[in-house]
Chains A and B, each alone.
Chain A
Amino acid sequence: MTQRLIIDGCLRRSAFTLQVQLDLGLDQPVGLQGVTGAGKTTLLRIIAGLEPDFTGHLQWGARVWTDSAKGISVPTHQRQLGVVFQDARLLPEMTVSQNLRFAVARAPSELSQHQLATIAEDFHVGDLMARPVEALSGGERQRVSLVQALLRRPQLLLLDEPLSANDRYHRRQVASQLSDWLRREQVPLICVSHSTDELNLLTHTTLRMDAGRVVAQGATSDMLESATARTHMAAKILEIDTTRGEVKFQWDSLEDATGIAAWKPGDRIFVGYQPERRSEVGAPLKPESEEDQQ
């Protein structure tokens, strides 16, 4: 059975316009990448029916979800989606267990106590069940939110940076669990991520967005390669203070794979400069402490 998502329309805001024409086959999971502000989150929100100002046509399989010309708009709760928002929102003043049950109670099919416990265990939230959601860390919230989305028995899963706040261990574990789950349940996925590992593991094709448009589409491995090749540059230097020895720089979060996000003030880095191009920050030297040990 071919799962298709057709989007043709636009969303105008004062400082931003999203214009998308897509006919997306979702038999294989799809990744969505692009710099911050490219419109990735907005696109997911349009698919979820959370952007009432979207005008155009949106169709999932044979079912029209939005058609502004005909005045059709299927409300979000009837679209049967699993969504993990970037901020991993959960229902406040409830425990993790209550949050998960909220999803189970509204899912189209029954779920046994045992199945719930198994899936919670698989995604490393089993120990959190009795905790109020306010007492969770960012990574824990994301995992609970993910399990909640899966328990909903979605016909389409929309994930927006679902593991970004997790440590490397949980990232790997949960991503591979999710990958298994997707294969087993055959649920189509659209996943926004800045992490090449995640996109490689979870998705087959990847779309790249820029300034509210889809600018490229291809096999995930090719797309990620071209993204690295396109800008070998790791970061852009904004300011160098030679008297204090401080460098201010800005990096495109796409290149997070180079590990810049982990740099701390005081780390020693190698700064290269090519006059014919722009200033750039190259590969990081090992932090001083590690060098001392060597």
Chain B
Amino acid sequence: MNTDLQAVLLTLLLAGVTTLLLALLATPLAWWLANARSRLRAVIESLVAMPLVLPPTVLGFYLLVMLNPDSLIGGMWVRVTGESLTFSFSGLVLASVIYSLPFMVQPLQSAFRAVPMSVRESAAVLGASPWDCFFNVVLPLAKRGFLTGSVLTFAHTIGEFGVVLMMGGNIPGETRVLSIAIYEHVETLNYDAAHVLAAGLMGFSFLSLWLVYRVAGQNAAVVRE
């Protein structure tokens, strides 16, 4: 149970760090997507949505290829930080950020798009610069989008399996997350331990989705087409 508890804590840490990082990274991206009229928008939107349709193994495979210490990015990371991006916690964070990107970007994009141009015009007329308007008018109006995106990202990261398996492996305290622990228990026919973790994950996922639907109201889809 001690290692299982470690797996739970590690998973929560991974999901928390991923959610925070994504909230920061996805905000400018979602704002751009919500306002851009260029043709590039559809391209970026497709790229952002890729993790929704790709098997996690494909994503994990390419991340493994791109981030291993012999590759360009992986090699640079080793030189700067002294540790590998593959089979490490920081590698998992990076993978999770990419894997959960649509779950943060899409709710934010919808929330930003729902702020009418007329509101931004009013703010401008009242003397608010675009930055002022973004932070003091748009962001407060988009708070439901942030809540939805954060809960979804957190829950999705907690349920991550394929990507972790491909590029993280099963290192206790480093990459052995919840889903990996469950997998290992089942492999070793330790069904009781698997039940505890699996049921916990089920309950948590339900609660997260319930929270999203309750807060977001009726007109919110978890994943936008």
Stretch at the interface among A13-21, A81-89, A113-121: A81-89
- List residues 83-124 of chain B with CB under 8 A from any CB of chain A: 118-119, 121-124
Q: Counting CB contacts under 8 A, is B190 at the interface?
A: no
Q: Are A80 and B124 in contact (CB under 8 A)?
A: no
Known contacts A50-B121, A76-B121, A89-B119; decide if A103 and B126 are in contact (CB<8 Å).
Answer: yes
Q: Counting CB contacts under 8 A, is A199 at the interface?
A: no
Q: Are A76 and B124 in contact (CB under 8 A)?
A: yes
Q: How far apart are A240's CB and chain B's nearest CB, in angstroms?
A: 40
Q: Counting CB contacts under 8 A, is B80 at the interface?
A: no
Q: Is the interface of A mostly helix, strand, loop or mixed?
A: loop
Known contacts A91-B137, A92-B141, A93-B141; decide if A75 and B119 are in contact (CB<8 Å).
Answer: no
* A107 to B129 alpha-carbon distance, docked (Å): 12
Who on chain A is nearest to B115 by CB?
A: A92
Partner of A85, one of B118, B129, B140, B141: B118
Cβ contacts under 8 Å, B129 to chain A: 75, 77
Cβ contacts under 8 Å, A77 to chain B: 123-130, 132-133
* A149 to B124 alpha-carbon distance, docked (Å): 12
* A82 to B124 alpha-carbon distance, docked (Å): 11
Cβ contacts under 8 Å, B133 to chain A: 77
State how many residues of chain B have any CB contact under 8 Å with chain A: 18
Q: Are B125 and A92 in contact (CB under 8 A)?
A: no
Known contacts A91-B137, A93-B140, A93-B141; decide if A85 and B128 are in contact (CB<8 Å).
Answer: no
Partner of B127, one of A50, A92, A107: A107
Q: Are B125 and A106 in contact (CB under 8 A)?
A: no
Q: Are A102 and B118 in contact (CB under 8 A)?
A: no
Q: Are A106 and B126 in contact (CB under 8 A)?
A: yes
Q: Are A106 and B127 in contact (CB under 8 A)?
A: yes
Cβ contacts under 8 Å, B132 to chain A: 77, 106
* A102 to B132 alpha-carbon distance, docked (Å): 11
Q: Counting CB contacts under 8 A, is A202 at the interface?
A: no
Cβ contacts under 8 Å, A93 to chain B: 140-141
Q: Name which of B128, B136, B140 has the most chain A CB atoms within 10 A of its CB.
A: B128
Cβ contacts under 8 Å, A148 to chain B: 126
Partner of A90, one of B122, B128, B141: B122
- Where the two chains meet, the residues of B that have a C-beta atom closer than 8 Å to any C-beta of A are 118-119, 121-130, 132-133, 136-137, 140-141
- Where the two chains meet, the residues of A that have a C-beta atom closer than 8 Å to any C-beta of B are 48, 50, 75-77, 80-83, 85, 87, 89-93, 102-103, 106-107, 148-149, 152
Complex A-B: 21 CB contacts under 8 Å: A48-B125, A50-B121, A50-B125, A75-B130, A76-B125, A77-B125, A77-B126, A77-B133, A87-B118, A89-B119, A89-B121, A89-B122, A90-B122, A91-B123, A92-B119, A93-B140, A93-B141, A102-B126, A103-B126, A103-B127, A149-B125
